[in-house]
Amino acid sequence: MKLTRGSIRWRLSIGAILAVVLALLLSDLALSVMFHRQVTRLTSQELEAKSMALVAGFEGDQPPAAPPDDIGGDRRYLQPYSGLYWQIEVDGRTHRSQSLWDTVLPLTAAMPGRGRAELYGGDGPDGQRLLILDRSIRVGADGHPVRIAVAVSTALMDEAQQLFDRDLVPALVILGVLLILASIVQVAIGLRLFADVHRKVEALQSGRLARLGQDLPTEVRPLASAIDELLDDRDRRIERARHRAADLAHTLKTPLQALHGETSRLRQSGQNEAADAIDEIAEQIRGSVDRELGRARIGAEGSADLAQVVERIAAVLRRTARGDEIGIITQVPSGMLVRIDAYDLTEALGSVAENALRHARERVVIRAEAKGRRIILLIEDDGPGVPPEQLDEVTRRGHFLDSGGTGVGLSLAKEIVEAADGDLLLQNLDPGFRVSLMFWRGPGT
């Protein structure tokens, strides 16, 4: 099945691609946020440990004193702008780590409540962005407040975030490609049921299958049931039309016979001209009835053995008046089935063959050849053919080239063949004339 715009496969594939791309974009955002939160949580835990190390430098029962420079035990506190800083406020005085050099931490105006710690960001020395853990404690017997703040540069966090995002994008691209391929495969597998439906419809058209049935996926069964119901209704309509055609034939048979009797009595009384006029009118009525009866019979399902039908028609033609004068040659292999009702094929081929016999000089050839899924039945005569400007007119209802026909044969044959999804083509030979009837192969051929 081709991937064309507007097809179900195209729409499902595009939908799957868009869904995968959107899901990956959201996943990238969510994973990035989750990583940032995790890094921030780990950094805050590190700050908590550093803060507690500073708190340990104060004895709870002694009045607070200025902290030593090496408090906290981390050499980075001694290196200017190292990215790790502390700041302690005791009795209104501010003490700082050497790493802060000549700057102070951007603490909030209000000191955190007793025993509480606050985590927030701020700008530090050398343009660094800091994560600050700010807390207050009580020291000494009088409970002097001490404010302890420890801060770390977020540069390492930002670098880790960038490295994570850089590694995440290729991984998500590879995952996206795999998901898109999996979606396309899934769509292809899901749409295989339409291939099964297509094969059943082809079998239905070729006559190998009478109905679609319910041996289909659940989602397609309502459609199959609707098609089968339409086919049942069509068959019932065709059957009723055939019955009405038969009734019409019987209804008109008696009046036409009565007219024939009246013309016989008119001729016996010497009124030949009036009798001829009535016979001409009756013949026109008979031709119209034959045409409508033939049309009512068109469209039945089934298949026909081409060789058997051809031989029956050839046998009938050989028993006609011209059958003794014209050679009728048949070249149709046995076992060649065509997708058309046998009665309809007899009607169509009989009309064409009778026309060929009427115009032939010495012979009529009926032969068949197979081309792919088609079978072409050729009826050729060595008569004068048809004027080129009238080729498109001879299959028009009521049209005939001479007084020997009623103008029904070729038009009826064309209607029958086209009703079976076939085609009828006309062609002048040198000399002669050819009618090609093209049918679909029947089941088993």
Q: What is the CATH number of the domain that holds 223?
A: 1.10.287
Looking at the domain assignment, is residue 202 inside a domain? no
Which residue, of 117, 152, 187, is where some domain finishes? 152
Which residue, of 297, 314, 342, is where some domain finishes? 297
Looking at the domain assignment, is residue 423 inside a domain? yes
Instruction: Determine whether 138 is exposed, middle or buried from the number of CB atoms within 10 Å of its CB (0-12, 13-18, 19+).
Output: middle
Q: Are residues 311 and 426 in the same domain?
A: yes
Q: Are residues 320 and 291 in the same domain?
A: no
* β-pair type (363-371, 327-331): parallel
Domain tally, the chain: 3
**Tokens at 261, concatenated:** 């009797």
Looking at the domain assignment, is residue 41 inside a domain? no
Instruction: Determine whether 85 is exposed, middle or buried from the number of CB atoms within 10 Å of its CB (0-12, 13-18, 19+).
Output: buried
* Confidence at residue 402, expressed as pLDDT on a 0 to 100 scale: 47
Q: Are residues 276 and 396 in the same domain?
A: no
Looking at the domain assignment, is residue 334 inside a domain? yes
Adjacent-strand bridge partners of 305:
337
- Sites in the chain below the pLDDT cut of 70: 1-6, 59-65, 69, 205-208, 246-247, 249-250, 253-254, 256-257, 286-301, 395-409, 443-445
Q: Are residues 305 and 434 in the same domain?
A: yes
- pTM for this prediction: 0.50
Q: Are residues 313 and 228 in the same domain?
A: no
Q: Are residues 242 and 354 in the same domain?
A: no
Looking at the domain assignment, is residue 163 inside a domain? no
Q: Are residues 323 and 276 in the same domain?
A: no
Distance CA 291, CA 288 (A): 5
* Confidence at residue 55, expressed as pLDDT on a 0 to 100 scale: 83
Q: Are residues 342 and 431 in the same domain?
A: yes
For residue 124, the domain's CATH number is 3.30.450
Q: Are residues 304 and 233 in the same domain?
A: no
Looking at the domain assignment, is residue 53 inside a domain? no
Which residue, of 152, 184, 217, is where some domain finishes? 152
For residue 436, the domain's CATH number is 3.30.565.10
Q: Are residues 239 and 318 in the same domain?
A: no
Q: What is the residue range of 254's domain? A: 208-297
- By residue count, the chain amounts to 445
Q: Are residues 332 and 357 in the same domain?
A: yes
Looking at the domain assignment, is residue 172 inside a domain? no
Q: Are residues 290 and 336 in the same domain?
A: no
